Amino acid sequence: MKILFTFDPEKELRNQLIKTFPQCEYDFVKTINDAGQLLSQAEVIVTMGEDLEDHHIEEATSLRWIMVTSAGMEMMPFEKIKEKGILVTNARGIHKIPMAEFTIGLMLQHAKQFIPLNEQEHEEIWSRRLPTSELCDQTILILGTGAIGQEIARLAQAFRMVTIGVNTSGTPVKYFDRIETIANLESLLPEIDFFVSVLPSTNKTRYILKKKHFEMMKASSVFINLGRGDVIRESVLLKVMEDQDITHAFLDVFIDEPLKEGHPFWKMKNITVTPHISSTTKMYVPRAFDILKHNLRTYIHNKGDYINIVDVERGY
Amino acid sequence: MKILFTFDPEKELRNQLIKTFPQCEYDFVKTINDAGQLLSQAEVIVTMGEDLEDHHIEEATSLRWIMVTSAGMEMMPFEKIKEKGILVTNARGIHKIPMAEFTIGLMLQHAKQFIPLNEQEHEEIWSRRLPTSELCDQTILILGTGAIGQEIARLAQAFRMVTIGVNTSGTPVKYFDRIETIANLESLLPEIDFFVSVLPSTNKTRYILKKKHFEMMKASSVFINLGRGDVIRESVLLKVMEDQDITHAFLDVFIDEPLKEGHPFWKMKNITVTPHISSTTKMYVPRAFDILKHNLRTYIHNKGDYINIVDVERGY
């Protein structure tokens, strides 16, 4: 049984995998375009998820399972995959810890004025006049109440924050003091201090945030987008920040990534740009490999207890 | 009954106090040196805690109670206060929330590489190669297991960190996975990732940290000092950071404050200087006033349930 990796994992992880499953044959290529004939022989493809196209699926005539070591499924050729009846699993769930830590980190960076403190330090200025604040007693609204949203809410509650979640059903979710449906979003906006989106990109989430939403928020409030860039049009968000409807936006995701040099987001004082890094830590690939190993054992022994099967109809 | 404030609180807080206790007479002066004759008439002095000297206590012949709206008691003329039998209360406990938030904020700033990310942003560079990490599964050692240390440990546990506390008795304390006495410090140092001191300055804590302690720590570990600067000699800490025994030091407190322009701490890349700001947020004075109001009610009605009586023998 041949397993083709379309990326090059660290030596240690690779060796550990080979040692655990010596019955498999492994091929590691740097990109899928280097795979050549290996593609037609592979029964399993392990991919970071943004490289597979229809013609690869056609060429991979032995393919039975695709393990994606990320969670973003927008680039997957699901039509073709469905046609061939190929199993897809992914690494969703491993993002929640780093992304929740990143979110709290950004909120504290804002509340504790770490960037202005850093600028003062460069000038050797000792001044305690910065408008530092607290997370305690502040209200956070999280768009998306899945694993990532819940982990953010859990930590926010530890900080004695009030947590409001918005999802499609309005059904109660652990760690949220209150859950509302998206239909009630507008009535919530005037109360909140932090507005966090961890929404994926789907037909239902694309461009759902409008200028009016930010106009309803406090001038002191903060927007954090760690989900997908297309939850709001770039031109709309630019206008929001130019008009200072809110005080700051932290953006980790963009409609076109990498964000181009010269893009106005880079330059605006009240926008912080980070390079889609909230889930990326050195723990990322090891955690994805834990899922891979579990699922590989399941595949080999035909046990049927896969973690994270992707519904190829729905695309997630 | 006359109450003398040796600082000028916000109008709103002042008015609220006057409205709550209209039976008292209030004097507000900008510094104690502006008090003049008011000093001899004051039955109560409300002070930020660093202005009272022996001669003030001598002159304040009506004085029965000093309410200090901070927690640092190093500058209080306790000998003279004891001689006169004056009650002292302070605002200890109100620091724990902002200081714990600040500590977690610094750890996340380090783990998430927020300062290098900010530098990249200035250059409009999209790069995901920074060595970002997580707090999850890391070990934090906290010197001092009082209210502040416990609040840091509580939040650290929420981040799935391992929490070790060091105190004088070694008695278990809530939110610490493990408590050790200071005598066992050396054996703990090789395991830890974050080393946080919230110790006050006393004869027992002064200069207790030595070069050897940092040499025992991991090269990747981080030191955070939010307690008092004199837990380590400046020359020793400089040598530690020059030798890169650890990767970073976050210093909020110093032996001489404000830290002078030109001091080597300002310039070192692996030292972050903040201006003794960890407990200062806009919630600080309102929280101190809550204690003042409680204690003033107690004083007026002679109820005996004071919050935060200071032991003038021990000085805290």
ipTM: 0.85
Q: Do the domains at A2-90+283-301 and A96-273 have one common CATH topology?
A: yes
CA distance A97 to chain B (A): 7
CA distance B82 to chain A (A): 33
Per residue in B248-299, pLDDT (tens digit) is: 999 999 999 999 999 999 999 999 999 999 998 888 889 999 999 999 999 9
Cβ neighbors of B312 (< 8 A, separation 6 or more) are B78, B81, B82, B88
A300 touching chain B per CB within 8 A: no
pLDDT value of residue A118: 97
DSSP tag of B86: -
Judged by phi (left if over 0) then psi (alpha if -120 to 50, else beta), residue A151 lies in alpha
pLDDT band with cut points at 50, 70 and 90 for residue B201: confident
Nearest to A114 among B105, B261, B266 (CB): B105
- For residue A273, the chain B residues in CB contact (below 8 A) are 121
Nearest to B281 among A104, A134, A154 (CB): A134
- For residue B259, the chain A residues in CB contact (below 8 A) are 126
Closest residue in B to A274 (Cα–Cα): B117
Note down pLDDT in tens along chain A; length 316 residues: 999 999 999 999 999 999 999 999 999 999 999 999 999 999 999 999 889 999 999 999 999 999 999 887 888 999 999 999 999 999 988 999 999 999 999 999 999 999 999 999 999 999 999 999 999 999 999 999 999 999 999 999 999 999 999 999 999 999 999 999 999 999 999 999 999 999 988 888 999 999 999 999 999 999 999 999 999 999 999 999 999 999 999 999 999 999 999 999 999 999 999 999 999 888 888 999 999 999 999 999 988 899 999 999 888 7
**Does residue A6 sit in helix, strand or coil?**
coil
The answer to whether the CB of A48 falls within 8 A of the CB of A89 is no
Closest residue in A to B108 (Cα–Cα): A105
Peptide bond into A258 cis (omega under 30): yes
Q: Which of B16, B83, B22, B15 is nearest to B300 (CA)?
A: B22
pLDDT value of residue A273: 98
Nearest to A101 among B130, B134, B273 (CB): B134
Question: Taking the CB of residue A239, how many other CB atoms lie within 10 A of it?
Answer: 13
Class of domain A2-90+283-301: alpha beta
- For residue B117, the chain A residues in CB contact (below 8 A) are 274-275, 277
Mean pLDDT of all residues belonging to chain B: 95
What does the block give as tokens for A263?
Answer: 């893009």
B101 contacts A281? CB cut-off 8 A: no
Instruction: For residue B26, report the phi and psi dihedrals to the nearest 5 degrees.
Output: -120, 135
Instruction: Report the interhelical angle of B96-111 vs B147-158 (nearest 10°).
Output: 40
Alpha helices by DSSP H, chain A: 11-20, 38-41, 54-59, 78-84, 96-111, 114-122, 147-158, 185-188, 211-215, 234-242, 264-267, 284-301
- For residue B127, the chain A residues in CB contact (below 8 A) are 275
A18 touching chain B per CB within 8 A: no
Asked if the model's pLDDT at residue B243 lies above 90, the reply is yes
pLDDT value of residue B61: 97
Asked if the model's pLDDT at residue B202 lies above 80, the reply is yes
| Domain layout of chain A by residue ranges | 2-90+283-301, 96-273
Cβ neighbors of B178 (< 8 A, separation 6 or more) are B162, B163, B164, B165
Closest residue in B to A115 (Cα–Cα): B115
Integer CA distances (angstroms), A71 to A91, A205, A288, A310, in order: 5, 17, 10, 10
Give me the amino acid identity at B40: S
Nearest to B126 among A104, A121, A258 (CB): A258
Rounded distance between C-alpha atoms, residue A156 and residue A184, angstroms: 22
Instruction: For residue B251, report the phi and psi dihedrals to the nearest 5 degrees.
Output: -120, 120
Average pLDDT of the segment spanning B63-74: 90
What does the block give as tokens for A239?
Answer: 């206008």
Rounded distance between C-alpha atoms, residue B194 and residue B248, angstroms: 10
A201 touching chain B per CB within 8 A: no
Asked if the model's pLDDT at residue B149 lies above 80, the reply is yes
Rounded distance between C-alpha atoms, residue B175 and residue A158, angstroms: 12
A133 touching chain B per CB within 8 A: yes
**Does residue B299 sit in helix, strand or coil?**
helix
pLDDT value of residue A236: 98
Question: Taking the CB of residue A128, how many other CB atoms lie within 10 A of it?
Answer: 12
**Does residue A254 sit in helix, strand or coil?**
coil
Residues 21-50 of B with CB under 8 A from A: none
Rounded distance between C-alpha atoms, residue B124 and residue B144, angstroms: 42
A112 touching chain B per CB within 8 A: yes
Mutate to test the interface with A, among B150, B193, B194, B274 (most CBs of A within 10 A): B274
B104 contacts A109? CB cut-off 8 A: no
Give me the amino acid identity at A268: M
A120 contacts B275? CB cut-off 8 A: yes
Residues in chain A: 316
Distance of CA A199 to the CA centre of its chain: 8
Q: Which of B133, B220, B122 is nearest to A277 (CA)?
A: B133
Average pLDDT of the segment spanning B51-77: 93
How many CB pairs below 8 A link A and B?
131
Task: Point out which residues pair with A273 in neighbouring strands.
Answer: A251
Report CA torsion sign: B222, B226, B232, B237: positive
A275 contacts B127? CB cut-off 8 A: yes
Largest CA distance in chain B: 67
**Does domain B2-94+282-301 match CATH 3.40.50.720?**
yes
A259 contacts B127? CB cut-off 8 A: no
- For residue B154, the chain A residues in CB contact (below 8 A) are 158
Closest residue in A to B124 (Cα–Cα): A261
- For residue B257, the chain A residues in CB contact (below 8 A) are 126
- For residue B256, the chain A residues in CB contact (below 8 A) are none
CA distance A267 to chain B (A): 8
A123 touching chain B per CB within 8 A: no
Cβ neighbors of B285 (< 8 A, separation 6 or more) are B9, B10, B13, B69
Rounded distance between C-alpha atoms, residue A170 and residue A179, angstroms: 6
Nearest to A127 among B135, B275, B283 (CB): B275
A118 touching chain B per CB within 8 A: yes
Cβ neighbors of A2 (< 8 A, separation 6 or more) are A24, A25, A26, A27, A38, A41, A42, A43, A44, A62
What does the block give as tokens for B56?
Answer: 């003030």
Nearest to A126 among B115, B158, B258 (CB): B258
Q: Which CATH number fits domain B96-273: 3.30.70.20, 3.40.50.720, 3.40.630.30, 3.20.20.70?
A: 3.40.50.720
The answer to whether the CB of B141 falls within 8 A of the CB of B195 is yes
pLDDT value of residue A72: 77
Peptide bond into B258 cis (omega under 30): yes
Which has the higher per-residue pLDDT, B73 or B17? B17
B105 touching chain A per CB within 8 A: yes
Kind of pairing between the strands at A178-181 and B139-143:
unpaired
Question: Taking the CB of residue A8, how many other CB atoms lie within 10 A of it?
Answer: 11
The answer to whether the CB of A222 falls within 8 A of the CB of A107 is yes
B114 contacts A109? CB cut-off 8 A: yes
The answer to whether the CB of B84 falls within 8 A of the CB of B315 is no
pLDDT value of residue A158: 98
Cβ neighbors of B76 (< 8 A, separation 6 or more) are B49, B52, B68, B88, B310, B315
A121 contacts B274? CB cut-off 8 A: yes
Kind of pairing between the strands at B87-89 and B65-68:
parallel
B97 touching chain A per CB within 8 A: yes
What does the block give as tokens for B19?
Answer: 């409205």
CA distance B123 to chain A (A): 9
Question: Taking the CB of residue A187, how many other CB atoms lie within 10 A of it?
Answer: 10
pLDDT value of residue B311: 93
Rounded distance between C-alpha atoms, residue A168 and residue B5, angstroms: 54
Per residue in B96-122, pLDDT (tens digit) is: 999 999 999 999 999 999 999 999 999
**Does residue B204 sit in helix, strand or coil?**
coil
pLDDT value of residue A20: 96
Question: Taking the CB of residue B5, how many other CB atoms lie within 10 A of it?
Answer: 24
